[in-house]
Amino acid sequence: MSYRTLSQFLEQHGNSTPQLNNVLLGIAATCQKIDLALQQGALAGVLGSAEHENVQGETQKKLDVISNDYLIEALQNNPHVAGLASEELDEFTPAQHGGEYLVLFDPLDGSSNIDINMCVGTIFSILPSIHADAQAEDFLQAGHAQVAAGYVLYGPSTMLVLTLGQGVFAFTYDLKSQQFLLTSENIQVAADTKEFAINASNQRHWEAPVQRYIAELQAGKTGARGKDFNMRWVACMVGDIHRILCRSGIFLYPYDSKDPNKAGRLRLMYEANPMSLLIEQAGGAANTGRVRILDIQPTELHQRVPVVIGSKNEVDLVQSYHQ
């Protein structure tokens, strides 16, 4: 069977441009370098803690730093990137050239999984630039302004999942050709599901609507829903969203009272927005429990939001409980 390469796909895609193609191919090539570092693991001395914290107050892994450095270097030197922002850094980083795009990324999502050889990923979001010389406020665009979004899943096979605002497409990395090859087109998420993902250790901190929803799922056939549900939790948003794109489901990281200063756990610009665009393009839904994520007007670069995302009928039900 003959597969289209990522480059061939982008050249034929109606929503792309040569400039955007260049940025996306640069991200893909950088993720291949990250993949190689992950595969080498302990042999390359890249496992373990970097022994300092990022802007989020989280202890960084060595591969967090390595992945971040790889992406910054590639994007700073891309002629079509005006600026970039990383979950790992306090401020945005201007690029070397005044380009057409801004790129935001989580260089290594799920990095707590690194040392146990479980799946991790890279998430990226691309926005149109506003000024040739990027300014901080240029990044504060609502998620519906994204021109492209996607992730790379480093798992048993390495996969790139991408949307340019016209469907969702999956590419598998071929070791022989060293190319991402198109293996799934126009991915769709079923409106109904029997799978959910949530960090149950936070249950005592959830608001009443989420308590109610999860209790109904756990009650199974004997409860209000009249059917059994399975819980899955990867501790890596890329892994959990990928499962939903493959076989439907709902993922929740809701508001909780554990830290009242944080509206949610996940970052709007680096995680919630790109994943919401992917899921909506696949026919699913994404909200905070109260509002559509892609309509949120950001107020700061590292803003956090609650996330309820996945199969549309389940996401809508969670929102109705909040209302």
271 assigned ligand-binding residue = yes
276 assigned ligand-binding residue = no
**Collapsed DSSP state (helix, strand, coil) of residue 83:** strand
10 assigned ligand-binding residue = no
| Same-domain pairing of 77 and 205 | no
| Same-domain pairing of 172 and 237 | no
* Residue 221: C-alpha distances to residues 32, 225, 226, 228, 231 (Å): 45, 7, 4, 5, 15
110 assigned ligand-binding residue = yes
216 assigned ligand-binding residue = no
Cα 178-179-185 angle, rounded to 5 deg: 150
| Same-domain pairing of 153 and 22 | yes
Longest CA–CA span in the chain (Å) reads 61
Quote the pLDDT of residue 275: 99
CA distance 302 to 43: 34
| Same-domain pairing of 22 and 111 | yes
| Same-domain pairing of 215 and 167 | no
Whether residue 1 is contained in a domain is answered as no
51 assigned ligand-binding residue = no
CATH of the domain at 42: 3.30.540.10
| Same-domain pairing of 13 and 95 | yes
Q: How many domains does the chain have?
A: 2
Quote the pLDDT of residue 208: 97
Quote the pLDDT of residue 43: 59
pTM score of the predicted model: 0.94
| Same-domain pairing of 16 and 155 | yes
Quote the pLDDT of residue 245: 98
| Same-domain pairing of 10 and 154 | yes
228 assigned ligand-binding residue = no
CATH of the domain at 249: 3.40.190.80
Mean pLDDT of each 10-residue bin along the chain, 323 residues long? 94 93 98 92 56 53 88 96 95 90 96 85 97 93 98 96 98 97 98 98 96 98 97 96 98 91 89 99 98 98 97 98 96
111 assigned ligand-binding residue = yes
| Same-domain pairing of 135 and 28 | yes
| Same-domain pairing of 203 and 142 | no
Quote the pLDDT of residue 50: 44
21 assigned ligand-binding residue = no
| Same-domain pairing of 228 and 304 | yes
Q: Could you tell me the residue range of the domain that residue 221 belongs to?
A: 195-322
* Residue 4: C-alpha distances to residues 11, 157, 160, 177, 245 (Å): 11, 17, 13, 12, 21
